[in-house]
Amino acid sequence: MQLAVGDYLDNRYVIDRAIARGGMATVYRCVDTRLGREVAAKVMHEQYVHDPVFAERFRREARAMAQLSHPNLVNVYDFSSEGDAIFLIMELITGGTLRELLDERGPMPAHAAAAVMRGMLTGLSVAHRKGLIHRDIKPDNVLIDMDHRVKLADFGLVRAAADATHSTDQIVGTVSYLSPEQVDGSPMTQSSDVYAAGIVLFELLTGRTPFSGETPLAHAYARLREDVPPPSAWMPGVPMLFDELVATATARHPEDRFRDAAEFLGALEDVADALALPDYTVPVPRNAAANRAAAHPTVFGVGAPRARDERLFPEAPSATRYEPAVPAPAPERAPMPAPAPEHVAAPAPQPQRTPAPRPRAVSNRGGFAITLFVGFAIAATAAVLVGGWWFGSGMYGMFPPIFVTGQ
């Protein structure tokens, strides 16, 4: 079912704009007409609605999120699997994703990476205490709200730890963040999430994931043969203690890793204390899809637009590219002169002295203003020359009639 601006879910939630699309579902900004609040609706794609495997996965996500409540987790409010639409109503996060932040800013220093991981691991530890395994930890599923709080989202692949011990012949997850046991079919534990979280930490510090391959399968199998390299090998300046954190979290054998998110979080805090890392406020991505949707909400009511061909993001560029949040360094300039003391008049100009040439200052005049000024100077000079010629030649009174008024 293709949803458009103004469509309703369950005769209660009115669709505004799409803010994210995945392989199984699309997330929309919505308005709950009963409570008058903005929410997010995760709506399963039409081709999966009648597939019992995907439908059950969606129901499992709803049940898992409903039993979890924490500031570092996205809250769930409602769920429906009746009719032609299967959807989940969740807390609307109008900030952005960790993926969008990485796209804007690139690799993070250790103290910034620690702040992000602290929020993510805190939320994940809540799920682990409930006996759940997330199975899809990645930057796209880590959100940053407008209060700079990090929240873990998207429990679409969640399983109870007891159920996840049964292996299947299907690789489920995102290839860059798969644990070795997800690839070879070994029983999964909460340390499988720890492995994925370790890959996220590696990416925060270096700006990339550690493995690659010509095909997704080759990419996945690379982690069965190789260890994750130390981040400092790819990004000089990363503290050695962070190398050790990544090495432990991403050990190929689950028994060599941190047991769960809480143990990983405890080790992270020990490292932060040992390095005396400063506090850090995680920034909100500037050009996030959710932020753009929230900045231009649709006003529903009499005369509200319902056009199906209305662009979702009229102000967005055609390509999905984000401007860097940190501006490019300015060209090197000459040192600025010291400011003059306040309330002191500038000395009178000395006409008999010609000042020495100085470095050309960066002007804020537009090209048009400069052209106009030069044109005016040329015209004034010409007028003086022509006027002298008129006066000197006795031709002042012989203007062509077109310039004579009052006749």
36-47 pLDDT tens trace = 999 999 998 988
Please tell me the predicted confidence (pLDDT) of residue 24.
Answer: 82
* CATH number of the domain within which 179 lies: 1.10.510.10
Are both 51 and 112 inside the same structural domain? no
pLDDT value at 261 more than 50: yes
Q: Which of 93, 127, 160 is the last residue of a domain?
A: 93
How do beta strands 37-44 and 25-32 pair? antiparallel
Are both 198 and 254 inside the same structural domain? yes
Are both 86 and 195 inside the same structural domain? no
Cβ atoms of 280 and 204 closer than 8 Å: no
Are both 32 and 155 inside the same structural domain? no
Q: Which domain holds residue 141?
A: 96-275
Are both 245 and 169 inside the same structural domain? yes
CA distance 228 to 243: 10
Which residue of the set 32, 103, 136, 154 is catalytic?
A: 136
Are both 42 and 149 inside the same structural domain? no
Are both 84 and 118 inside the same structural domain? no
Q: Which residue has the tokens 């060209």?
A: 331
Are both 85 and 106 inside the same structural domain? no
In a domain, 350, yes or no: no
Cβ-proximal residues to 354 (8 Å cutoff; 6+ apart), any chain: none
SS3 per-residue string spanning 251-274: CCCHHHCCCCHHHHHHHHHHHHHH
Please tell me the predicted confidence (pLDDT) of residue 247.
Answer: 98
Q: Which of 41, 58, 93 is the last residue of a domain?
A: 93
In a domain, 221, yes or no: yes
Q: Which of 93, 113, 140 is the last residue of a domain?
A: 93
Please tell me the predicted confidence (pLDDT) of residue 15.
Answer: 95
Closest Cα to residue 172, out of 164, 182, 185?
A: 182
User: Which contiguous run of DSSP H or E holds residue 96?
Assistant: strand 96-97
Residue 91, amino acid: E
CA distance 304 to 298: 8
Q: Residue 136 catalytic?
A: yes
CA distance 239 to 77: 42
Upper half-sphere CA count for residue 107 (Cβ side, 13 Å)? 16
User: Which contiguous run of DSSP H or E holds residue 204?
Assistant: helix 190-206
Give the distance from CA 307 to its chain's centroid: 29
In a domain, 334, yes or no: no
Are both 83 and 100 inside the same structural domain? no
pLDDT tens for 58-93 read 888 788 888 888 999 999 899 988 777 889 999 999
Structure tokens at 343: 């309330």
Mean residue pLDDT of the chain comes to 77
In a domain, 206, yes or no: yes
Are both 62 and 208 inside the same structural domain? no
In a domain, 372, yes or no: no
Are both 36 and 169 inside the same structural domain? no
In a domain, 188, yes or no: yes
Closest Cα to residue 289, out of 44, 26, 24, 43?
A: 26
* CATH number of the domain within which 47 lies: 3.30.200.20
Question: Is the pTM for the entire model greater than 0.95?
Answer: no
Are both 134 and 227 inside the same structural domain? yes
The structural domain count of the chain equals 2
CA distance 16 to 211: 39
pLDDT tens for 223-256 read 999 999 999 999 999 999 999 999 999 999 999 9
Q: Which residue has the tokens 């799409």?
A: 18
In a domain, 397, yes or no: no
* C-alpha distances in Å from residue 133, one per residue of 22, 60, 91, 191, 213: 20, 12, 21, 9, 27
In a domain, 403, yes or no: no
Average pLDDT over residues 332-357: 43
Helix, strand, or coil (residue 88): strand
Please tell me the predicted confidence (pLDDT) of residue 303.
Answer: 35
